[in-house]
A and B are shown apart, each in its own frame.
Chain A
Amino acid sequence: MIVVELIKMMRRPRTWLIIGMLIALPTLVAVLLAATDLGPRPGTGPPFLSAVLSDGTLFPLAALGVVLPLLLPIAVAVLGGDAIAGESQTGTLRYLLVRPVGRTHLLLAKLVTVVAFVLLAVLVVAAVSYAEGRLLLGRAPTTGTVSLSGSTLTQQELGWRTALALGYVIISMLGVAAVALFFSTLTKSSIGAALGTIGVLIASTVLLGLDAGSAVHPFLPTRYWLAFVDLFRDPILWRDVARGLVVQLGYLAVFTLAAWANFSTKDIDD
């Protein structure tokens, strides 16, 4: 079933369109940076963007910093929101269930597919932006990349830290995926489910900007998204990364369970 869902995802033109859009924005940024040579001042703008003019190997991280706050979560919300509601909309849900595919099994396959999409999207964005960084932006200093703390990282070190960062970005999307999947079991409209999920993310962002909300900040799904930056300090600052991990797993557990509770006894009468 999981394989079938993966095939379905790969064969949908929409999947590739979304990935194309995810690549387009960092590409535009790279071209603009290369053409104008005007980087944001250090400490401002998306993470790593000020550093990429001198060191193009950092551009995959800058690209992820560009797509992570908005584009990637929207893509996940659209795919996750479509998971069950989309099948319900086309009427194929009832034919899957009488095939029979177990409801829990179907839900699980959908979740895995969304995570697989995130994996695919992150890897494609990283690969494309690495190439762009090498071609368009600054050459890496032969002495190695300078970390955020000022020390020098060897190519090897930079490699595994980048891999860690990619992994963290993927995990950061688990919460969004689970929320979208839950909304997807509530409604027959995949757009509704996607918008509901985006609403949750917007609410989270608004609360993060509010000092009075500091008590709930550690529980917000978007709170630790950019903590992957801390992986490039020397020594690595694990605190926020670890908290981010816990928050995401928490959202994943709660909303997957809620989705299951709702879907497993739901009357399919679309």
Chain B
Amino acid sequence: MTSAAPTNGHVIRTRALTKRYGDLRAVDAVNLEVSTGDVYGFLGANGSGKTTTVRMLLGLVLPTSGEAEVLGRPMPTARRSVLPHIGSLVESPAAYPHLSGSANLALLDATGSDRSRGQERRARIGTALEQVGLNPADRRPVRTYSQGMRQRLGLAAALMRRPPLLILDEPTNGLDPRGTQEIRRLLLELNAEGTTIFLSSHLLAEIEQMCTRVGVLRRGQLILQEQLDSLLKPTGVVAVRTRDIDRCITLLGPVVGSVADDRLLVRAKDPARLNAYLVGEGVRVDEIGPYRRTLEQVVLEADARA
């Protein structure tokens, strides 16, 4: 099997990728750029075209127009050489309900064309199950699994062959908070070892906690694509919480941006100097610090612009 082609930094790149269903443009001229080593958060409401995009990247759905390049090769033309290097979870996990988790993985693994030995296969199935917190010796059929366990099994299937690229659709769906945290930690570990992760989700908090880069899809259009830290960088505004709102406004005058209840947004470069000044003037400062927007605000603003 050929190894993944050199990708000049881009693991996924699409140009004007479009999928039409009749008059509906489910995905509309999307230009994705995912670089090696990214944890890319692909955000969008339900029905915004996330899943269709993911399916086009994996060659399950054929684009109406536009191009997609994954691991440096065109999809879906090169699916035979590209897909072995991708681990994926598409929408929801699926398994044969009458077989155990490890039997399911063994069947899926055996459909591949790589020439691994039986022992090697058993070993990697065991490792993948342990990684996601399932017991490889569990002989119960999948139909008795809880939704969280099915989700873990789906992740194990994606991780099984140590792919350099993971494409995961809602990976923590159905997991309890502790499970969510475990899986998040596992994914970040894999990323630190060099795995590029493309993660689609409608959970802003999840993306904010894990991702290095964000793309936002709205009605099929990519309305935002940026490094997360540049989106959430300090804004040159300081937030001040104080009981002496009025006095504060009089003191600062035109640099006060906005006022809400007991909080002021002030245009200032240095929170420490602003603090010293206010305290010197006898203002009771309860809380002061650089103001950062949350991802939610960024997304809502981009949404409003579009």
Tell me the A residues contacting B by CB distance below 8 Å: 1, 3-4, 7-8, 11-13, 90-92, 94-102, 265, 267-269
**CB nearest neighbor in B for A92:** B94
Partner of B97, one of A8, A90, A101, A102: A90
Partner of B60, one of A11, A12, A92, A268: A268
- Per the bound structure, the CA–CA distance linking A4 and B79 in Å amounts to 21
Report the minimal beta-carbon distance from A91 to chain B, rounded to whole angstroms. Answer: 3
Partner of B94, one of A1, A95, A269: A95
- With a cutoff of 8 Å between Cβ atoms, the chain B residues found around residue A99 in the complex are 83-84, 108, 111-112
Partner of A90, one of B59, B80, B83, B96: B96
When the two chains form their complex, are residues A101 and B111 in contact, meaning their CB atoms are under 8 A apart? yes
Q: How large is the interface on B (under 10, 10 to 19, 20 to 34, 35 or more residues)?
A: 20 to 34
When the two chains form their complex, are residues A269 and B157 in contact, meaning their CB atoms are under 8 A apart? no
- With a cutoff of 8 Å between Cβ atoms, the chain A residues found around residue B61 in the complex are 267-269
- With a cutoff of 8 Å between Cβ atoms, the chain B residues found around residue A94 in the complex are 55, 58, 60, 90-91, 94
- With a cutoff of 8 Å between Cβ atoms, the chain B residues found around residue A13 in the complex are 98
Report the minimal beta-carbon distance from A37 to chain B, rounded to whole angstroms. Answer: 44
When the two chains form their complex, are residues A98 and B58 in contact, meaning their CB atoms are under 8 A apart? yes
The verdict on B232 contacting chain A, using a C-beta distance below 8 Å, is: no
| Given A8-B96, A8-B107, A11-B99: A97 in contact with B59 (beta carbons within 8 A) | yes
When the two chains form their complex, are residues B111 and A98 in contact, meaning their CB atoms are under 8 A apart? no
Interface string of B39-83 (1 = CB under 8 A from A): 000000000000010010011111000000000000000011001
When the two chains form their complex, are residues A102 and B80 in contact, meaning their CB atoms are under 8 A apart? yes
When the two chains form their complex, are residues B94 and A7 in contact, meaning their CB atoms are under 8 A apart? no
**CB nearest neighbor in A for B167:** A98
Partner of B62, one of A90, A100, A102, A267: A267
Given contacts A96-B108, A268-B55, 6 further A-B contacts (CB under 8 A): A13-B98, A91-B91, A91-B94, A95-B157, A96-B111, A100-B84
When the two chains form their complex, are residues A98 and B83 in contact, meaning their CB atoms are under 8 A apart? yes
| Given A94-B90, A268-B60: A4 in contact with B107 (beta carbons within 8 A) | yes
- Per the bound structure, the CA–CA distance linking A103 and B97 in Å amounts to 23
- With a cutoff of 8 Å between Cβ atoms, the chain B residues found around residue A101 in the complex are 111
The verdict on B88 contacting chain A, using a C-beta distance below 8 Å, is: yes
**CB nearest neighbor in B for A266:** B62
- Give residues of chain B (100-118) contacting chain A, Cβ–Cβ below 8 Å: 103, 107-108, 110-112
- With a cutoff of 8 Å between Cβ atoms, the chain A residues found around residue B283 in the complex are none
- Per the bound structure, the CA–CA distance linking A128 and B95 in Å amounts to 35
| Given A100-B83, A100-B84: A95 in contact with B108 (beta carbons within 8 A) | yes
Tell me the B residues contacting A by CB distance below 8 Å: 52, 55, 58-62, 79-80, 83-84, 86, 88, 90-99, 103, 107-108, 110-112, 157
Report the minimal beta-carbon distance from A45 to chain B, rounded to whole angstroms. Answer: 39
The 9 closest A-B pairs by CB, nearest first: A91-B94, A100-B83, A268-B60, A267-B61, A92-B94, A98-B58, A4-B110, A99-B111, A4-B111
- With a cutoff of 8 Å between Cβ atoms, the chain A residues found around residue B55 in the complex are 94, 267-269
- Per the bound structure, the CA–CA distance linking A92 and B89 in Å amounts to 11
When the two chains form their complex, are residues A1 and B111 in contact, meaning their CB atoms are under 8 A apart? yes
Report the minimal beta-carbon distance from A185 to chain B, rounded to whole angstroms. Answer: 15
**CB nearest neighbor in B for A265:** B62
**CB nearest neighbor in B for A88:** B94
- Per the bound structure, the CA–CA distance linking A267 and B58 in Å amounts to 11
**CB nearest neighbor in B for A8:** B107
| Given A92-B94, A92-B96: A98 in contact with B110 (beta carbons within 8 A) | no
**CB nearest neighbor in A for B87:** A98
- Per the bound structure, the CA–CA distance linking A14 and B98 in Å amounts to 11
- With a cutoff of 8 Å between Cβ atoms, the chain A residues found around residue B80 in the complex are 100, 102
When the two chains form their complex, are residues B83 and A92 in contact, meaning their CB atoms are under 8 A apart? no
Partner of A267, one of B60, B98, B110: B60
- With a cutoff of 8 Å between Cβ atoms, the chain B residues found around residue A98 in the complex are 58-60, 83, 86, 88, 90
Report the minimal beta-carbon distance from A25 to chain B, rounded to whole angstroms. Answer: 26
Most buried by B among A95, A96, A268: A95
- With a cutoff of 8 Å between Cβ atoms, the chain A residues found around residue B59 in the complex are 97-98, 100
Give 9 pairs: A residue, B residue, CB < 8 Å, sorted on A: A4-B110, A4-B111, A8-B96, A11-B103, A98-B59, A99-B84, A99-B112, A267-B61, A268-B61
When the two chains form their complex, are residues A269 and B52 in contact, meaning their CB atoms are under 8 A apart? yes
**CB nearest neighbor in A for B19:** A267
Report the minimal beta-carbon distance from A26 to chain B, rounded to whole angstroms. Answer: 28
- Per the bound structure, the CA–CA distance linking A15 and B103 in Å amounts to 18
- With a cutoff of 8 Å between Cβ atoms, the chain B residues found around residue A95 in the complex are 90, 94, 108, 157
**CB nearest neighbor in A for B56:** A267
- Per the bound structure, the CA–CA distance linking A3 and B110 in Å amounts to 9
When the two chains form their complex, are residues B94 and A90 in contact, meaning their CB atoms are under 8 A apart? yes
- With a cutoff of 8 Å between Cβ atoms, the chain A residues found around residue B96 in the complex are 8, 90, 92
Report the minimal beta-carbon distance from B83 to chain A, rounded to whole angstroms. Answer: 4
**CB nearest neighbor in A for B110:** A4
When the two chains form their complex, are residues A12 and B98 in contact, meaning their CB atoms are under 8 A apart? yes
